[in-house]
Amino acid sequence: MVQALDRERTAGGRERAADGRERTVDDRERTADRLLRSTAARSYDPELDVDWSAPPVEGKHYLPEHRCSLYGTGLWQRLTPEQRLELGKHEIASVAGFGIWLETLLMRLLAKLAYEGDPLTRHIQYALAEMAEECRHSTMFARLIEWMGTPRYAPPAGVHALGRLLPTLAHGPAMWGAILIGEELTDRYQREMVDDDSIQPVIRMVNKIHIMEEARHIGFARAELTRCAAALPRAELAWQRGLLGRVALIVSRNLISPEVYRPVGLDPREARRVALANPAHHETVRYGGEKIVAFLRDAGMIGPPATRLWRRSHLLP
């Protein structure tokens, strides 16, 4: 890989590859080249770097209490401290299960890019490197769910079926935006937890790995989105915004499965209704989306006809 990266640079922003061909080294290639170097220098193997044999630490949380979907509600007041901790564990398991679904879709989107592109370019090589990381992340999240001993939570059948269509429907800025919504929301919560000593050490290590590797993915996707949005034909804008608004609503509504309430003795339908009306939960969703919403707004990707979808998701105040 090192040899492949050390191609001969020639004058005028061009490079000469080992096969003698010359091509323009543009910003896209430079960004991907830098990210490939970073990937080679700093990556984790969750199989080895997380101590899966360590038992949970008595009394430590799995999720900060103020990020629980029922925090501050009447139902929350009725839960014992042990039930609150248990609910946090199941909510993290739900986010991890939903994360696996999202990452599998993301891998399909990256595979589509690689299928259509030139594997001798740095940006396609970086897409392949990112797929390799997402493969390891999904295994890591599956191991985390096993370690916590919770059920496997997954999106409902309808969302699962819709997900099958995404790689066909999504392209351009909506594709990169969909990737970023998934990546940046979870990144925000993980950054809040990684230095919190009251959180289980295994969770914090998983967060540390994911934060470091996702920083590259987010940088790549943001650069790709900016490039695609600038080239987007005006006639396509409404469709792209509509698709992205739909993704935003699906992500915000499905991170927490209603089934997480059952193990703490709550009725899933009632608890779900309370969570969806909970201002503290709305604030958690808004906090998760704060940075990506600002970025997508600046890129012109949030607006009519999808503004209502963004409002319903609580990502947009």
**Among the residues of the chain, which ranges form H helices?**
2-5, 27-41, 46-49, 74-78, 81-116, 122-148, 157-169, 172-194, 201-230, 237-254, 268-276, 279-298, 307-313
- Choose between 228 and 316: whose C-beta lies nearer to Fe ion: 228
* 314 is a site residue for Fe ion (CB under 5 A): no
- C-alpha separations of 286 from 184, 282, 316 in Å: 12, 6, 7
DSSP secondary structure letters along 236-262: GHHHHHHHHHHHHHHHHHHSS-GGGGG
Residue 201 CB, nearest approach to Fe ion (Å):
20
Which is nearer to Fe ion, 201 or 219 (by Cβ)? Answer: 219
Cβ proximity to Fe ion, 208 vs 217, nearer residue: 217
From 85-93, 176-184, 229-237, 303-311, span contacting Fe ion (CB under 5 A): 176-184
Site for Fe ion in 195-254 (CB under 5 A): 214, 217
Tokens of 142: 């599956």
Q: How far is the CB of 221 from Fe ion (least distance, A)?
A: 8
Cβ closest to Fe ion, residue 35 vs residue 266: 35
Site for Fe ion in 110-139 (CB under 5 A): 137
Q: Which stretch binds Fe ion (CB under 5 A): 6-14, 17-25, 76-84, 182-190?
A: 182-190
* Contact partners, residue 86, CB within 8 Å, separation at least 6: 263, 264
Number of residues lying near Fe ion (CB under 5 A): 4
Nearer to Fe ion (CB atom), residue 101 or residue 261: 101
Q: In what order do the strands lie in the sheet with 8-10?
A: 8-10, 14-16, 22-24
Query: 33 or 183: whose CB is closer to Fe ion?
Result: 183
First-last CA distance in the chain:
46
Shortest CB 188 distance to Fe ion, Å = 14
Residues making contact with Fe ion (CB under 5 A)? 137, 183, 214, 217
